[in-house]
Structure 1
Amino acid sequence: MQLPPPDPALSPRTGYTRAHWEAAADALLAAVEPYATEDRALYHFPGDRQSWAGRLSDGLEGYARTLLLAAFRRDETALERYADGLAAGVSGVWPRIEDRGQPLVEAASVALALRLTRPLLWDRLDDAVRQRAADWLGDALTAEPWPCNWELFPVTVGGFLQEIGHESEAAGKAVDRGLERIEHWYVGGGWYTDGDGRKYDYYNGWAMHLYPVLHAWLADDSRLLTVYGSRLETHLADYARLFGGDGAPMHQGRSLTYRFATTAPLWLGALTGHTPLPPGETRRLASGALKYFLERDAVDERGLLTLGWHGPDPAVLQGYSGPASPYWASKGFLGLLLPPDHEVWTATEEPGPAEREDAVTPVAAPNWLLQSTRADGVVRLHNHGSEDVRYDPYYTRLAYSTVTAPSPSYDNSVIVGEDPGRTGIEPLGAGDGWVASRHTAGGGARVTSVLLARGATEVRAHLVTGAAPGTPVRVTGWHAGDGLRAELVPVHGLEASAEGTSASSLAGTTGDAGTLFVALARLTAEPETVPLEETVSVRAEGPDGIRVRWSDGPEVRVTLSGDAVRVRA
């Protein structure tokens, strides 16, 4: 991909400016054009993967998600091509929008793009085409979505149909119904769950916040914008801490192949005036993420976004991931709606949180602890509250980072017996430098865990109850990659794992009652560090407590038994 020369004066950290975003959008749009069908209604990208929705739906997905990119770019030449495709698509090519079907998702992208570019696309269509398009979209008003972020797709379609006066009553009801349903999942502090349960990930930003805030902004509804905008602003204070110093987003959750869609809520805050971030920091975080992926093979030799994280990577895909799925990365170009003279584009880049300071930040709603170190720019997420309805390594490991991916060998886990699972996670609180939870493992055993962090050092303590005496327990730490060092040092109840010499695995055995296991851990990209044992002193106190003394900080006492973990100075 050919990009302009870097601008170190305006963007001393990434070199990227608005011109880089425009060039990237243009290159992505040019690369997909050869894969359109002759009538331009479908985009079939190469490869042998197909989503569970089928080839026709995948082709619609290719059209809708790249249309969204053209809409943010406001590329009139490209929009003319998409106008042709729209006319053909709604004349019998596209599949109908039905209950819980993938076309409902793509209808939201089509409707949003039409709403954003109405004078450039919709208003120039023939009346007959507009009527057929409105009729096709109208099925989204009554189609039943899956009970998650999908509830917002009828909202997005309904907002557009209200604006053009098509089935206004039904459209208004669809908007109200979807917004009412997501209220059940708002848990405060700027966070939603993605449906029932405790699924916390990037869907908070690129779906749960994006669609309501954009709808309120486009409808010029000050009441709704106050509600949803204030939630977004609160969320962004946490969200900004999920990006590493190298620009990488946190490697956690599902649909990671959307990559720099992670930047959408950053731009959205600036677009609507609901952000706590300075303009230069907003652009630095967003440009850092775009640059991170473009420099790591997210785009192949044909200029197409691949199904993966850096290059192709099936580990980050779901059953609904089709060849066009990565093009929800188009959401990351939302910032192009801001005019060139907006302060986000004209301000000098400012460092993001991971570049400014060492920080250990509790996030109450998901019960996370975010740990970042300025020297290497690594951000670590200690997860004591997020899980999917099934075991999923991208939701239920004890920790994630901006520089590692969950390993097949169950990194950041407590393995009781032969069972590596972690289910029924019960948050037990997060505070100044600590986070705790309880979960089920090993066929019914309960594991109460507390994590304390300072600098790059972690103290990990696990109390295992309900397991038969003599049950083997394995505690794992980070799985390091190139340029990284992972350490796991036994403190109590553990020794080097018999399964290998990896620094990220320790072994122990349960006793007659609850058994305490304690280790020190560290993940770092720094070439030289002091030994872990010199950063903190930890000793067990009885069967369920530890005393922690930081070399450069306070002493803390922790008790893990009972109904709640107690942490006190």
Structure 2
Amino acid sequence: MTYDPVSANPLSGNPLTSRDDVVGGLHALFDPLLPYFSEGGARVRLDGAAAHFDRAAADLEGFARPLWGLTPLAVGGGSFEHWELYRRGLANGTDPEHPEYWGAVNSTDQRMVELAAIGFTMRMVPQHVWAPLSQKAKDNLAAYLLHARQFDYADNNWKFFRILVDLGLEECGVDFDRSLTEKYLEELDGFYLGEGWYRDGNVRRIDHYIPFAMHFYGLIYAKLARGDEKRVAAYKERAVAFAKDIRHWFDEDGGTLAFGRSLTYRFACGGFWGALAFADVEALPWGEIKGQFMRHLRWWADKPIAHGNGVLSVGYGYPNLFMSESYNSAGSPYWALKAFLPLALGADHPFWTAEETPAVIDETPIPLKHPGMVMMHTKGNVVALSSGQQNWQMRNGTEKYAKFVYSSRYGFSVEVDERAYHQGAFDGALAFSDDGRHYRVRETNEVAQIAGDTLYARWKPWSDVSVETWLLPANPWHIRVHRITTPRALHATEGGFAIGRADLNADRLREEAGRAVAHSATDLSVIVDLAGTRDGRTQKAYPNTNLIVSKTLVPQLRGDIAAGTTVLVTAAMAMPAGSDAEAALNKPPAAPDLAALEALFARAGIDVSAILVPERF
């Protein structure tokens, strides 16, 4: 029989409509890991691929991350037959004399990340992982955690990891320096921007780490902290405000905006909805929160996200190392199990008893000033126009943060050959070349502003070339205006949305002066030149560059840019195939008036929050 990669997905075939379905999904995700536990239980090694940290830390990652789901399962009364395996692993992994010892933390270290799940588990189910241990094992585990927490943690969401460890130590009666806890809680407050939004450290990025880290851990703290009522109240109030915005990062089918780093954590992106339930915060009606949570899990159930053995792959919609981070080991994807936090709640909790209600979809554009986005809901999709973010620290950081547009249905593509300008995907981007081989795209902005539902940025692909870009919603289209000032001739390629490509060249492609259109069996994608003489091309992108599907088509506009000042005006859209898409195809928006755009920002432009920290190289 032909191998079907979708059937290897542990969630495949699960209706995911009830609490029992979610419990079944968790077991199905964990069970494929059992053959990979070491004899001593402390290490889980899933394949030979490497992260930047050492193998012992990667093995700890594989051991610890499933606890984000298993611990809530136990709290909620669910059955799990392998706590003895975890006790053995904790005893051996923290014993310096055992061959499976995890190694000591002696500086900022990946082990700090993974110990947070252990601290959480010690706080929630000490009867499974602490009380049954021998005194020697308790002493070793406590000493290991106390040693690790004395070092500086990374200046971002990592600061919550010490706090989670401290919750576990407190529950198990281990004394520790509480001033370190308070210090990090204060520093985390320094990342708060207002209106529910944080930044993940003093960097120009506001991404999924805000819902699945900053708010996720904050809501856990709000549920579990003792004697910190003021901060608990603040965390809950911030989550209420944030929910009203972040729901617009999710489409009507449960897909979330593919944007930023660490997307291999997959359904961790829905962890915020479960964390609201865990902390008893009805930020939106329970039916809406439950609907967001369940739809998101269901969205993943038909994607080929696991290897043939049922182990989750590094990747997003399918196994893909091109889009991975340097800190992704084979165990990294199991942070996805953070989504199972609401299993800590009994079946009688209103989160579980509520009837799912549909997503709140508004065709009116929704501006989000802190991440520098304008959100648009279209059928089965959410689109974000984006300006103001950057990330030079991560692989493919430019593609993950600095494109003009991102999408839940169509994802984005990462480039795989910086010396192949004519083969680039450049979806959602404008690429320039001065030699026909190398290229430059937007990596950062000198200025990024928002005025109503319109974005403006000034950026430089080279030190002597300046580009001003305005982004405007025109649902289901969006418009990009670029004013390019260059002392020398360049060539430019601009891409629309990437859509899945069929085998046997079964798709229909249209390449014309000023327009390119791709028709697949499921989707339509188009890019139109509203002011200019560029040629249309439908690019067959390199395989495995898009996050959601492995083979794609990208409509592009291409042309020469003369020395001097050139204005380009572009419209792009993509929709599921059908009559609505065909109707939209025949009604592209009109080009906006550039002088009116300049006047708008002179009058009402405000800086995007994301850009309001110094650049980091």
Whether TM-score is above 0.5 comes out as yes
In structure 1, the residue corresponding to 2:445 is in which secondary structure?
strand
Unaligned runs of 5+ in 2: 1-8, 416-424, 502-521, 541-553, 607-617
CA–CA distance in 1 between the matches of 2:497 and 2:603? 26
The structure 1 residue matched to 2:105, chosen from 76, 97, 101, is 97
CA–CA distance in 2 between the matches of 1:564 and 1:154? 45
Query: Partner residue of 2:186?
Result: 180
Asked if the contact 2:257–2:406 (Cα under 8 Å) also holds between the matched residues in 1, the reply is yes
Query: Partner residue of 1:372?
Result: 377
In structure 2, the residue corresponding to 1:333 is in which secondary structure?
helix
Asked if the contact 1:49–1:323 (Cα under 8 Å) also holds between the matched residues in 2, the reply is yes
Asked if the contact 1:413–1:420 (Cα under 8 Å) also holds between the matched residues in 2, the reply is no
Amino acid at match of 2:456: A
Amino acid at match of 1:368: M
The structure 2 residue matched to 1:243, chosen from 250, 260, 279, is 250
Asked whether 1:507 is paired with 2:565, we answer no
Query: Partner residue of 1:41?
Result: 42
CA–CA distance in 2 between the matches of 1:508 and 1:485? 27
In structure 1, the residue corresponding to 2:460 is in which secondary structure?
strand
The structure 1 residue matched to 2:526, chosen from 487, 510, 519, is 487
CA deviation after TM superposition for structure 1 residue 493, in Å: 3.2
Amino acid at match of 2:524: R
In structure 2, the residue corresponding to 1:303 is in which secondary structure?
coil
Asked whether 1:358 is paired with 2:363, we answer yes
CA deviation after TM superposition for structure 1 residue 222, in Å: 2.1
Asked whether 1:521 is paired with 2:572, we answer yes
CA deviation after TM superposition for structure 1 residue 3, in Å: 7.1
CA deviation after TM superposition for structure 1 residue 34, in Å: 1.4
| C-alpha distance after superposition, 1:47-76 (max 9, x if no partner) | 220222122111111111123322121145
Query: Partner residue of 1:343?
Result: 350
CA deviation after TM superposition for structure 1 residue 511, in Å: 5.0
Map of 1:445-456 to 2, 5 A cutoff?
A: 445-456=465-476
The structure 2 residue matched to 1:439, chosen from 451, 459, 472, is 459
The structure 1 residue matched to 2:496, chosen from 473, 477, 481, is 477
Map of 1:22-421 to 2, 5 A cutoff?
A: 22-45=23-46, 47-74=47-74, 75-92=79-96, 93-168=101-176, 170=177, 172-220=178-226, 221-353=228-360, 356-373=361-378, 376-390=379-393, 391-407=397-413, 408=415, 409-418=425-434, 419-421=439-441
Identity of aligned residues (%): 24
Query: Partner residue of 2:18?
Result: 17
Amino acid at match of 1:348: E
In structure 2, the residue corresponding to 1:534 is in which secondary structure?
coil
| C-alpha distance after superposition, 1:148-194 (max 9, x if no partner) | 222221122123223434233x1x22222222222332222222222
| C-alpha distance after superposition, 1:344-367 (max 9, x if no partner) | 1111111113xx442411111011
Higher relative contact order (CA 8 A, sep 6+): 2
Asked if the contact 2:10–2:310 (Cα under 8 Å) also holds between the matched residues in 1, the reply is no
CA–CA distance in 2 between the matches of 1:530 and 1:452? 20
Asked if the contact 2:538–2:556 (Cα under 8 Å) also holds between the matched residues in 1, the reply is no
Asked if the contact 1:190–1:233 (Cα under 8 Å) also holds between the matched residues in 2, the reply is yes
Asked if the contact 2:191–2:198 (Cα under 8 Å) also holds between the matched residues in 1, the reply is yes
Amino acid at match of 2:223: W
Asked if the contact 1:428–1:564 (Cα under 8 Å) also holds between the matched residues in 2, the reply is no
| C-alpha distance after superposition, 1:266-289 (max 9, x if no partner) | 111122233432212222222222
In structure 1, the residue corresponding to 2:127 is in which secondary structure?
coil
CA–CA distance in 2 between the matches of 1:265 and 1:204? 9
| CA gap 1:531/1:259 in 2 versus in 1, 3 angstroms | closer
CA–CA distance in 1 between the matches of 2:464 and 2:192? 31
| CA gap 1:236/1:516 in 2 versus in 1, 3 angstroms | same
| C-alpha distance after superposition, 1:197-229 (max 9, x if no partner) | 211111111111222331232114321111112
CA deviation after TM superposition for structure 1 residue 334, in Å: 0.6
Asked if the contact 1:246–1:377 (Cα under 8 Å) also holds between the matched residues in 2, the reply is yes
Asked if the contact 1:425–1:438 (Cα under 8 Å) also holds between the matched residues in 2, the reply is yes
CA deviation after TM superposition for structure 1 residue 564, in Å: 7.7
| CA gap 1:145/1:428 in 2 versus in 1, 3 angstroms | same
CA deviation after TM superposition for structure 1 residue 432, in Å: 4.0
Query: Partner residue of 2:549?
Result: none
Query: Partner residue of 2:597?
Result: 558
Larger deviation, residues 477-486 vs 53-62: 477-486
CA–CA distance in 2 between the matches of 1:539 and 1:264? 40
| C-alpha distance after superposition, 1:390-446 (max 9, x if no partner) | 553111111110122323322212224444231332554334432222222234422
CA–CA distance in 2 between the matches of 1:209 and 1:533? 43
CA–CA distance in 2 between the matches of 1:230 and 1:370? 23
| CA gap 1:498/1:176 in 2 versus in 1, 3 angstroms | same
| CA gap 1:505/1:522 in 2 versus in 1, 3 angstroms | same
CA–CA distance in 2 between the matches of 1:369 and 1:377? 17
Query: Partner residue of 1:551?
Result: none
CA deviation after TM superposition for structure 1 residue 79, in Å: 2.1
Larger deviation, residues 468-477 vs 137-146: 468-477
Asked whether 1:468 is paired with 2:475, we answer no
Unaligned runs of 5+ in 1: 7-13, 546-556
| CA gap 1:403/1:560 in 2 versus in 1, 3 angstroms | farther
TM-score, with length taken from structure 2:
0.81
In structure 1, the residue corresponding to 2:94 is in which secondary structure?
helix
Q: What is the count of residue pairs matched by the alignment?
A: 537
Larger deviation, residues 211-220 vs 200-209: 211-220
Asked if the contact 2:206–2:389 (Cα under 8 Å) also holds between the matched residues in 1, the reply is yes
Asked if the contact 1:70–1:78 (Cα under 8 Å) also holds between the matched residues in 2, the reply is no
